[in-house]
Structure 1
Amino acid sequence: MDRRSVIKNAGLAGVLAAGVAPAVHAQAAIRWRIASSFPKSLDTIYGAAEVFAAQVKAMSGGKFDVSVHAAGELMPAFGVVDGVQQGSVEGAHTAPYYFFGKNECFALGCAIPFGLNSRQMTAWMEQGNGMKLMREFYAGYNIINFMGGNTGAQMGGWFRKEIKSVKDIKGLKMRIGGFGGKVLERIGGVPQNIPGGEIYPALEKGTIDAAEWVGPYDDQKLGFNKVAPYYYYPGWWEGGPELDFFFNTKAYEALSAENKAIVTSATHTAHVFMQSRYDALNPAALKQLVGAGTKLRPFPQDMMSAAFKEAMGLYEELNAKNESWKKIYADYNKFRADQNLWFRFTEMSFDRFMQSQKL
């Protein structure tokens, strides 16, 4: 009797009695690399990828190992999409709006000026049509996306000189991430897209006049207060920027159903980690910055109004020339209108009252 017949007819007890051990195929260990767009020194925005990697390893019993590589280790900060698309790495952790030069729709997966706040962005992605629409778009780049964190509304950045009106923006060279630069340009500014690790020397040398990054916790680490005294708010171009994990489609589809579930769960953990950590750490950092002499200022109202008008005009122009943008933005815009109506009666009213109280 051959081996196959023994196994088929005898059952486990019979097989063992016959001294024939059934073949056991252990699942092969998986090794992935994630290229980050951020330096290790920024423990929260970079750290979200480390949280993801740790969760994947723990949930898989060590069989699924993910290594995280800071910007510049495997590829430049702004080269990570090409790396995932080409399969040079299995994944990336980045801010999608960095890549709006490929297609403006990358910005919709992260943040656009006067867009959704962080809670609204998560709601659009998870419960609205956001994830479906963005995955349809990213499929054209051999990428599948997962939420990878949110910073919450950001600060408006550091300025070497005071901004008293929109007129002061004319000719101003500012490091501004993603899509916001297109609107800044329309109100007279000169946008510069510079990786986080290179901002300080550019601001110190006067190569740029202003720079934004995230908020007090990161900005204090990067030392911007040492070379620019004015700290403006709010970051109207980043009301709720979502970071993403981008995975190579072929690498992701090769995973078992169990490992796909692990990836999904781990990205959700990383997503919550990032904003909760920023929300916890930003208040103390802001107090320290102001205590050390930082001059906190709101953007002038005429600048905010001019930027809003130009942003809406830009979106209309894109509707006319970019079919993918038109399709995704139509859904985004409707969702934003409904969310703002709801938040008007709830979040905004509650927050405004609470922030006026002495606790």
Structure 2
Amino acid sequence: MNLKKAAIATAIALTSVGLSLSAHAEDKKILLKTPIAFGSHLPALGTPIQWYADHIGQTSGGTVKMKIYEPGKLVNPAEILDAVSTGKVNSGYSTAGYWQGKLPASALFSAVPFGPEAGEYMAWMYFGNGLKLYQEMYDQGGYNVKVLPCAIISPESSGWFRKPIDKPEDLKGLNMRFFGLGASVMEKLGAGTVQLPGGEIFGALEKGAIDASEFSQPAIDERLGFHKVAKYNYFPGWHQQSTIFELLINKDTWNEMSQTQHDAIETTCMASMTYSIAEGEAIQFTAMEKAKQNGVEIRYWSKEMLDLFKKTWLEVVEEKKSEDPFFDKVWTDLSTFRQGYALWQANGFLPRATLE
């Protein structure tokens, strides 16, 4: 009886594989030429898209392949959205916050100051209205792209500073590289901000062109050598409690694909979300220990400073809402979701003091 059941199970499995291969065999083969905004050598920032490229061929039955192009090799990072939309390339990998000059709400799909941590962010994306609004933003903006969340990391460092920041006055006149919505907060507090790609930050710090910089997580910042030129590393990353990265696919290319190819691309992106968050969480403490050995002082913002950042952020929100109706729409939806989630968050998780 056991042998009979085993034979039946094997036959069913082989039939399923055969049907799957048959379905894939009918699909037109697609090569996604994908310029990326972050070097593939950067852990949790660039490595997930390389992992994706290594696996999409298998999950699609060989009908979808991806070739990645390092930053600037095919398309400059700042031009990825336009390049994918116009069909210059058929896909690209970046983070939506880079487009906030064109699409003000885009930063809400990238990283939100005092915003959701990774689990809550994904909950809103996949089971709230996040994904629907994300695509609607690009459609309304006239961009011919299909968007998929394809990686996520947990909190970033709040920045690397040449001198201690003990009080609000210490921010005035500071020239700092800063990303996304958090930059608006720093500007209201008297700092000047610039947007520099990762590869240019070390040189700018070393030459004194900027006084401070935030970029990413400790293990990523270590690769870029910030600890050699700035010795005060601040936490928590109030401006980026989690960050989502997107795979953009030209809509014409997307529409040419079969449902099985769509499923493979979407499922592999969800797997990449798991890969990226796990990799990022596994490597930060080692990098922080090494930074301390290299003379870096790890500092946690005072309550006074965190309260100031939050108060100023809420002022920025009101300004952004009045300037852009779609920003208002997304912010309202995200806030409603978070108000509901707060009941679970307040009761389901141990407070920080209990964990220390």
Residues 353, 300 of structure 1: alpha-carbon distance in 2 compared, 3 angstrom cutoff: closer
The answer for the alignment partner of 1:89 in structure 2 is 89
The answer for the alignment partner of 2:14 in structure 1 is none
- Which structure 1 residue ranges, 5 or more long, are not aligned? 1-24
Report the Cα distance in structure 2 between the residues aligned to 1:341 and 1:63, rounded to whole angstroms.
45
- Shift of residue 67 of structure 1? 0.5
Higher mean displacement: 185-194 or 319-328 = 319-328
The answer for the alignment partner of 1:217 in structure 2 is 219
Report the Cα distance in structure 2 between the residues aligned to 1:44 and 1:109, rounded to whole angstroms.
18
- 2:282 aligns with one of 276, 280, 283: 280
Identity of aligned residues (%): 29
Structure 1 length-normalised TM: 0.88
2:344 counterpart of 1:321: no
Report the Cα distance in structure 2 between the residues aligned to 1:270 and 1:98, rounded to whole angstroms.
21
- 1:251 aligns with one of 247, 250, 253: 253
Number of residues paired by the alignment? 330
- Shift of residue 27 of structure 1? 3.9
Asked if structure 1 preserves the Cα contact closer than 8 Å seen for 2:84 and 2:248, the reply is yes
The answer for the alignment partner of 1:352 in structure 2 is 353
Asked if structure 1 preserves the Cα contact closer than 8 Å seen for 2:34 and 2:90, the reply is yes
Asked if structure 2 preserves the Cα contact closer than 8 Å seen for 1:166 and 1:300, the reply is no
Counterpart AA for 2:328: K
- Shift of residue 26 of structure 1? 5.2
The answer for the alignment partner of 1:240 in structure 2 is 242
Report the Cα distance in structure 1 between the residues aligned to 2:89 and 2:295, rounded to whole angstroms.
44
- Deviations along 1:82-108, one digit per CA (max 9) or x if unpaired, are 111111111111111111111211101
Counterpart AA for 2:196: I
Asked if structure 1 preserves the Cα contact closer than 8 Å seen for 2:174 and 2:190, the reply is yes
Asked if structure 2 preserves the Cα contact closer than 8 Å seen for 1:99 and 1:178, the reply is no
Structure 2 length-normalised TM: 0.89
2:122 counterpart of 1:133: no
The answer for the alignment partner of 1:32 in structure 2 is 32
The equivalences for 1:97-112 within 5 A come to: 97-112=97-112
Asked if structure 1 preserves the Cα contact closer than 8 Å seen for 2:43 and 2:219, the reply is no
2:79 counterpart of 1:79: yes
The answer for the alignment partner of 1:119 in structure 2 is 119
Asked if structure 1 preserves the Cα contact closer than 8 Å seen for 2:160 and 2:232, the reply is yes
- Shift of residue 207 of structure 1? 0.6
The equivalences for 1:160-179 within 5 A come to: 160-179=162-181
Report the Cα distance in structure 2 between the residues aligned to 1:190 and 1:341, rounded to whole angstroms.
38
Report the Cα distance in structure 2 between the residues aligned to 1:166 and 1:185, rounded to whole angstroms.
12
Asked if structure 1 preserves the Cα contact closer than 8 Å seen for 2:40 and 2:50, the reply is no
Report the Cα distance in structure 2 between the residues aligned to 1:312 and 1:146, rounded to whole angstroms.
28
Counterpart AA for 2:275: F
Residues 252, 26 of structure 1: alpha-carbon distance in 2 compared, 3 angstrom cutoff: closer
Asked if structure 2 preserves the Cα contact closer than 8 Å seen for 1:232 and 1:297, the reply is yes
Asked if structure 2 preserves the Cα contact closer than 8 Å seen for 1:149 and 1:271, the reply is yes
Counterpart AA for 1:277: E
Report the Cα distance in structure 2 between the residues aligned to 1:233 and 1:157, rounded to whole angstroms.
8
- Which structure 2 residue ranges, 5 or more long, are not aligned? 1-24
